[in-house]
Structure 1
Amino acid sequence: MTDGGASPTAYSLAELTTMRVGGPPRRSVTVTSESELIEAVRTTDEAGEPLLVVGGGSNLLVADDGFPGTAVVVRTSGIEVPDASACGGVTVTVAAGEVWDDVVARAVEEAWSGIEALSGIPGSAGATPVQNVGAYGQEVAQTIAQVRVWDRVEQRVRTMFAADLRFSYRHSVLKDSIVGPDAPAGAVTPRHIVLSVTFSLRPTELSQPVRYAALADGLEVELGARVPLAEAREAVLQQRRNRGMVLDPADHDTWSCGSFFTNPILPAHEYAELVTRAAERLGPDVPPPPQYPSAEGTVKTSAAWLIDRAGFGKGHGLPGPAALSSKHTLALTNRGSARAADLVALAREVRDGVREAFGVTLVNEPVLVGLSL
């Protein structure tokens, strides 16, 4: 596993994940170039070993026993700007291993608009198209032009365009091959390994229209207003700090995978049933579950609302070892000594409690490695 300069390394996966749990892989290698990444994946596949690709580790919950295969730790770097014309927009190609928030900070500094609301999200650039990362009214599907990948089946580099990726809420064809109908048994790595991501951004010092109410309130502007990019970024970072969503080694509220459950998207009739059950449980004077824009015939509602109204408030489970964040009910946190088993037990308690209270089954957002709910 040393061809092309890749470095064998000895890691506990707890060191590589924002949740800070997980045992060691059987073998690990750190890659710093695209060729090393391809070679490491190809060598592992040829050996018939399980493969785990690790970027920023912000969307992984790994078993205490570790991983019975090779972990490829992606530390590739590079941001290229092949086209920065005012007419055509700004084309920015980012290596998969680049720290995502560094990419956003660079875009704000260079007056490239379109990803500023995604400030402060931990992880690597290569992970963003996998689950269509989004926050505060933006998601990467709005700006991704193409993704270069290593296709593990066809054994070649491919370019996948936005339409090929079939983006939806926190989902893409890349994620489908981990958790969806295209996933092989036991898969923890998609068929397509992201090598680089190309974004199409707008050359302007103003943000895209502010679409999130709390963000607009913090900026003291109306919804739909545009503000200087630096102001938008700082307002987003402040919103995330308020929720314990900016990594801080001293703050256990940030020892998490961010939002552990996605917001449920329900058929309209199921949402109507949810409203009825909520009124029966909470009383007719309590406002119904929130509704967010969604595809025709469906309603997206709030996982945080369901968790809180099912009796799991901020800080549930404190002092730990695992507990809901004291700032945000969607974050399951490691209070310093949690094991993966503790976090899975908490996730099951919350999921099952919401299902019992409201008939809605929450779906985990992070990828579970060697674990299941």
Structure 2
Amino acid sequence: MVARTAEGTSVAALRTLLAIPLTVAVIWLAQTNGAGPTAPADDTLPLLVTRGKAPSAALLATAGTAGHFATTSPRLTRSDHLRAGSITKTFIATVILQLAVEHRLKLSAHVTTYLPTLRGVGDLTVRSLLTQTSGLYDFTAATHGRIPLAPQTVAELAVSEPRTTRPGTWSYSNTNYVLLGMIIHQVTGRSYASEVRRRVIDPLHLTGTSFPGTRTTVPRPHGPDAVRLDPRTAGASGELISTLPDLNRFYAALLEGRLLPPAALRTMLNTRPANGHYGMGLYPEKLPCGTTVWGHNGRIAHTYVRTAATRTGSQVVTYRTTKATLSHSTSIERRVLESEFCTST
């Protein structure tokens, strides 16, 4: 697989904008080496701070080799490492679909085909895990993201609890992707971290992306929200560490079709099994201007991250805040996405 050319490194302009009350300063670094997004007229990033109550925020938008970076704080930079949380799921789903393309597993196969010792999941398929339609109990409801658990313990905890919904009904559960990580290990003989690194991270030269394993710290440079965390609190559902440029590069490559053949990518983006809520490891959002963007978000350890991209991967936006939960986040996030994808450039 050919790695995507990194965004241009020359900085063509630097200006400080004053936007909305509280005089939140936003620094825009506009890269002009080629066609691509420029700073939108409606400077909505500060809303994540003022109305969303996040201490600080940063955003990187890219299109081809051009892009712009914005931050509400000089303490956040475009090269910061950050915990990506549930954005990990898109990486895991990509590997599962690659294995299906290679005929090493079947999406229609029962989970017990690959995890034969796991009881209580005999009626569930691999597809139901990918599409969040298994109905399995979400283990983080018990651990609150603070207790590290081995994958087998997560599985046993989940099946010991009543199903959240009946199978076939969409219900988001981190347990699904922990089980998918176990399936990757069972099918390949290597950990999900090793397979993602071999199949995605290394080919795309995502040099700021890693699975920390048992390492509790975030590599430097990083923002002020990089607290210590045992990655086993999330596992295959949210362990990933990455950067804004790497996440943009990954989603662009995925949606451009450089990680999956067309049929597999269509399967990944098919939201019918989840009644429009979810594909496989990513979800759509239709903006008021008619553009539908695809991506995922992640909340973990004081960090919130959101990536959204056009269907062809031609334009990608990732932003992060130094607070895992935002007030009024739905309306504010939509404003941010609208300013990036719905304004003419």
TM-score, length basis structure 2: 0.26
More relative contact order, 1 or 2 (CA 8 Å, 6+ apart): 2
Q: If you compute each CA radius of gyration, which structure gives the higher value, 1 or 2?
A: 1
Structure (1 or 2) with the greater strand fraction: 1
TM-score, length basis structure 1: 0.25
